[in-house]
Structure 1
Amino acid sequence: MKVAPSILSADFGKMAEAVQNIEKWGADWVHCDVMDGVYVPNITFGMPMVKALRKYTDMFLDVHLMITRPEKYVGQFCDAGADLVTFHPEASEDVEGALNEIKSKGVKCGLVVNADQPFSVAEPYLDRIDLLLIMTVQAGFGGQSFKEDCLEKVRRGAEIKREKVYSYEIEIDGGVSPANIERCKDAGGTVVVAGSAVFKAEDPAAAVRAMQI
């Protein structure tokens, strides 16, 4: 199981230090939550932050766009240094175009299924994505409780992956911690996003290791 600590839970005044700590703690990826205040109520950061973080780390930058009209911006996030760009299909007026734009930049692409959405929102595109992100909290804020019923969508994604011999990663985002990591893995998850569980841990490195099962 890969672990991608979310910098949404870091001190925004010390982002360079945060990504360096994530690397020091032995994590696998860095998860960057981009929010525009329109698709979700919260506002975080944009392309300049991703570009700045890239200067301080060679780690895999996993960029999750919670924005409207992502097709207008995916190329800029790729150019800023993202290794993976994931977006919400219902927020886009051109899902195919956005996926193709990301791939044309040599960057991995992914789609998100929100906690309150049916799995079917992503199903038409499973043959062309590198990652399927299943939200286990409502998108837009950190520190929420894990929604156990969302693991059914993880199971569905894993089932289709096996049946069709697809190679996409299945990422679980929201309320993940060492307490529920086994259930995430058993459902078919291959990557977990962890914010509070890492950044608020007494020993963040130990928290990361506990989830790398």
Structure 2
Amino acid sequence: MARISPSILAADLTELAREVIRVRDADYLHIDVMDGMFVPNITFGVPIMEALGRLHHPPLDVHLMIEDPSRYVKEYAALGAKNLHVHVEGNYHLHRLLGQIRETGSRAFVVLNPSTPVSLLDEVLSCADGVLVMTVNPGYTGQEFIPEAAKKIDVLDRIRTERDLKFEIAVDGGVSLDNAQDLVNRGADILIMGAAVFRSENPSVVVRKIKELKR
């Protein structure tokens, strides 16, 4: 069964503790860390991670959309990141970076932007715990889902079967109740959802509804 990772980028940050409580039954809590250089937005960093450390929350699923993420791998792992997502784009020593993440005890996910082909991952799939397929261009929540990007899920699912690899497939961007079932059918293991959860009237109901759909 696939898992749900609500993204607090879409949450009401003036009520962060309340928002986290509302999705306490989710499988993960997704944190988008952006530095304004790798992507055109600035979001969360260490202070938010420290604040979350004082709350009861699902395991943290942290997406590092920053330049030279190797500088912060140990810090975010120490702050409780269960999964650390880093991009293939711009990270020239990706094999070493994934190794750094796994050495901390966190799980290493590699991220593909919508325009990036799966073929760029050929040499690192065997040392990744997962692949995150972006179905929007990263930077902002609430963007329109890009159907063509979702086709990468099919390709990745076929590759892991043919090569007997165990990596998981996550998908992020425009994921909703309307397309969740299709994404799971394609092979997605983790559904990262922002607006569909936190901007609904009752996020906990949305999480429960998706779990029912997956079953």
The TM tier, using the shorter chain, reads over 0.9
Give distance in 1, aligned partners of 2:202 and 2:21: 16
Give the corresponding residue for 1:119: 118
Give distance in 1, aligned partners of 2:94 and 2:177: 34
Q: CA deviation at 1:54?
A: 2.3
Q: How does 1:1-213 map to 2 (within 5 A)?
A: 1-23=2-24, 26-212=25-211, 213=214
Q: Under a length normalisation based on structure 2, what TM-score does the superposition of the two structures give?
A: 0.93
Deviations 1:12-55 (A, max 9, x none): 222232222210xx211100001000000100011231132122
Give distance in 1, aligned partners of 2:181 and 2:188: 10
Q: CA deviation at 1:117?
A: 1.3
Greater Cα offset, 163-172 or 45-54: 45-54
8 A Cα contact 1:114 1:135, kept in partner: yes
CA RMSD of aligned residues (A): 1.3
Give distance in 1, aligned partners of 2:12 and 2:204: 17
Give distance in 1, aligned partners of 2:143 and 2:36: 18
Q: CA deviation at 1:150?
A: 1.2
Cα distance change of structure 1 residues 210 and 123 upon mapping to structure 2, 3 Å threshold: farther
Deviations 1:83-140 (A, max 9, x none): 1101112232421222121111111111000012111232321111111100001111
Give distance in 2, aligned partners of 1:189 and 1:167: 13
Counterpart amino acid of 1:16? A
8 A Cα contact 2:19 2:198, kept in partner: no
Question: 5+ residue gaps in structure 2?
Answer: none
Give distance in 1, aligned partners of 2:57 and 2:23: 11
Counterpart amino acid of 1:148? P
Q: Under a length normalisation based on structure 1, what TM-score does the superposition of the two structures give?
A: 0.94
Counterpart amino acid of 2:108? C
8 A Cα contact 2:142 2:174, kept in partner: yes
Give distance in 2, aligned partners of 1:11 and 1:91: 31
Greater Cα offset, 49-58 or 148-157: 49-58
Give distance in 1, aligned partners of 2:20 and 2:130: 22
Question: 5+ residue gaps in structure 1?
Answer: none
8 A Cα contact 1:9 1:195, kept in partner: yes
Q: CA deviation at 1:152?
A: 1.2
8 A Cα contact 2:11 2:199, kept in partner: no
Deviations 1:145-192 (A, max 9, x none): 111111210111111111122111110100000101111011110110
Q: CA deviation at 1:58?
A: 4.7
Greater Cα offset, 173-182 or 197-206: 197-206
Give distance in 1, aligned partners of 2:205 and 2:22: 13
Counterpart amino acid of 1:62? D
Structure 1 moving runs of 4+ over 4 Å: none
